Structure 1
């Protein structure tokens, strides 16, 4: 079966966030087996691998599931972008047609071509104020101004400024002991007139291999978009995830939905032998 690696939220190879995309034909029981998908994701070792299977349903075109090397996740932005890019790039879906993905826990997600990039309609997941867990500031090595949690059980921590976010070198073992899917750190962008309005980083010691930092996290921006829209007074913003690879995410808050936009690049197109 066809397998691609796509750099999402990237305008050139080896930036943004890489995701595996497995294009299933739905023809075998194995392809529908989540244990098999988990083994493939563990073999790929990307932060997420997306599995796309065509469905014959009035409200959806494809089933979409996402797996880290360790667990299945309820929502993944960059792997959704990678999956849509793969479907358009391989000619599976015509460029002018929206793609409707049926997911297990996040409903139907619609992706459309947006100029040279892709626009994804996701549920907004705003954080609510919450007490900072014991040891959070020490684990981050930085003063925390505000903390909250969202429905995905992400912990959101606002820091003093952009330099504080960029300069973090957290204790990942200590962060892994915090009860959260991941820890999102964020701050308002420095200066004005730049390419982005806020910065962030995402640490998922419990769900990611390697150093535990995700390069660019679409699902985190489902929380960051309403968080910063309220503080900056604008529904349309651009975030920059300041990981080593880095990537820009355009956000547009639309009530209880958020549109995440960006570009993607295919870096590998091959065959998975099973």
Structure 2
């Protein structure tokens, strides 16, 4: 009887363990799928916001979409000094709910080239109440705030650290780059100095050409022998018929 109880208990435990294992594997698969879907959604959102810019400080007194678009085009043309018309803008809208504060404007541009031009010339907005920022998703904004402390620490150590999307990038110092270029030039000058080339020439002059013995022997063997006979003076004899006339 006791043995039967033990067997029943063991079978129940084994069944429970198997079910738990199945649940664990399913949970792992769901976590993997969720992670994959999250990465895809983040990439999709990044692609959607790729051509977006945020303009802050623009007074909120427009009465229609066309008024808002005209305001944005006017700032790009006359303040940032970049040619732009309605063809360069896909859409414009205010971000968030209307309240006491002036809401920023989200601009979606038609080309990345126009966005890069605006970003390069955004310093022209410094004397104005306007300023431009990238349009990041909320989770990226919170991550960038967390990274700001690390960036300030890196800059205190003399490093050129910046935040690129959601990562810290340390740029090379201009002084280090200049020193490296100078060292490379010095190395080239030393390797191509006239002293080394002159010594090479002198060494070449001191060296005498080595005669090739094998070639001289081959030439001797291949050369045709020439027979030389001693030259005799011909003397005529009185009884020689060749001398008779």
For the criterion TM > 0.5, the same-fold answer is no
Structure-1-length-normalised TM-score: 0.18
For CA contacts below 8 A with separation 6 or more, give which structure has more relative contact order. Answer: 1
Structure-2-length-normalised TM-score: 0.19
Which one has a bigger Cα radius of gyration?
2
More strand by share: 1
